[in-house]
Amino acid sequence: MDERGAEQPGVLDAGLLLRPARPANAFEETVQRLLQTIRLGLIAPGERLPAERELAATLEVSRDTLREAIGSLADAGWVVARRGRYGGTFVSDPLPEPGPGVPRPIERRSLDDTLALRAVVEVGVARRAAESELSAADRERLWQAHLACGQADEAGYRVADSRLHLVIAEVVGAESVTPLVAEVRMRINELLDGIPLLAPNIAHSDEQHGAIVAAILKGSPEEAAQAMAEHLIGTEALLRGFYG
């Protein structure tokens, strides 16, 4: 499509990837859908995104969620807003070059492997933690790690996030579990360091952390596993969006 959004013959339909986002991780999946559409050239550099109303309806998200996603991508340099008769949101031309907050290409199988390992390990750890008889000290450590994550500033957020996930592993009380989670976190953090911190995602992650911790503290294994799974899916959506 040109700057006025008119379709050009032979151009792939962006609707191939602009599918509805799932409610549990609407912001993260909206970012993923938009980034994949841009990175695969379905909306090329310099071209305009569909109108906000149309895009929100296609993705089945609120316009507030869509604005948060587009605003985050604008802050990261992937899209730009223009005013005037032919204004709107356009894909940046040129696209951002690899650097701080812009990931370098990685092998798809490496990304798949890391995400699959994390899902298997951390969902199981959350379930096991909820099944465990936690001491008063463990319960307090878990709660304080959650609070520290919510209170962390941007510079310290990922350290606090990692610490919370490690404390969940530690309260299980199995020697082999914590090193395994630590290895998973190292691999995930290497990927996260290549993408920008998005404020709506941090706020959403904190809500999800609260749900995970609450389920563990009340001894609800299925709820803890489900909450952790939803949390990991949100992170996975962002990573797949930025890394392609």
138: how many CB neighbours lie within 10 A of its CB?
19
Q: Is pLDDT of 110 > 50?
A: yes
Amino acid (1-letter code) at residue 106: I
Which tens digit of pLDDT belongs to each residue from 122-131? 999 999 999 9
- Spell out where 79-200 has E strands: 79-82, 88-91
Q: Are 225 and 127 in contact (CB under 8 A)?
A: yes
Which tens digit of pLDDT belongs to each residue from 1-47? 444 444 443 334 555 557 777 788 999 999 999 999 999 889 999 99
Token pair recorded at residue 61: 């998200």
Please state which architecture CATH assigns to domain 14-91: Orthogonal Bundle (1.10)
Region for residue 117 given its phi and psi (left: phi exceeds 0; alpha: psi -120 to 50; beta: otherwise):
alpha
Mean pLDDT of 137-164: 96
Give the pLDDT score at 15.
54
Q: Are 224 and 124 in contact (CB under 8 A)?
A: no
Give the pLDDT score at 23.
85
Chain centroid to CA 50: how far? 23
Spatial distance between the Cα atoms of 214 and 34, rounded to a whole number of angstroms: 33
What is the band of 121 on the pLDDT scale with cuts at 50, 70, 90?
A: very high
pTM for the complete prediction?
0.88
CA distance readout (Å), 116 to 109, 156, 199: 10, 26, 25
Mean pLDDT of 163-192: 96
Average pLDDT, the chain: 91
Spatial distance between the Cα atoms of 30 and 36, rounded to a whole number of angstroms: 10
Mean pLDDT of 112-135: 97
Mean pLDDT of 147-167: 95
Percent of the chain scoring above 70 in pLDDT: 93
What is the band of 104 on the pLDDT scale with cuts at 50, 70, 90?
A: confident
Give the pLDDT score at 151.
96
Give the CB-side neighbour count of residue 82, counting CA atoms within 13 A. Answer: 18
CA distance readout (Å), 190 to 87, 135, 137: 37, 33, 31
Give the pLDDT score at 2.
44
Which tens digit of pLDDT belongs to each residue from 34-92? 999 999 889 999 999 999 999 999 999 999 999 999 999 999 999 999 988 778 999 99
Give the pLDDT score at 8.
40
Buried b / exposed e over 204-237, threshold 16 CB at 10 Å, is: bbbebbebbbebbbeebbebbbbbbbbbbbbbbb
What is the band of 98 on the pLDDT scale with cuts at 50, 70, 90?
A: confident
Please state which architecture CATH assigns to domain 108-243: Up-down Bundle (1.20)
Buried b / exposed e over 101-114, threshold 16 CB at 10 Å, is: ebbeeeeeeebeeb
Q: Are 125 and 177 in contact (CB under 8 A)?
A: yes
Task: Provide the sign of the torsion angle of the four alpha carbons 166, 168, 171, 175, taken in this order.
Answer: negative
Mean pLDDT of 94-108: 86
Q: How far apart are the first and last CA of the chain?
A: 22
Domain assignments of the chain as residue spans, ordered by start: 14-91, 108-243
Mean pLDDT of 92-97: 94
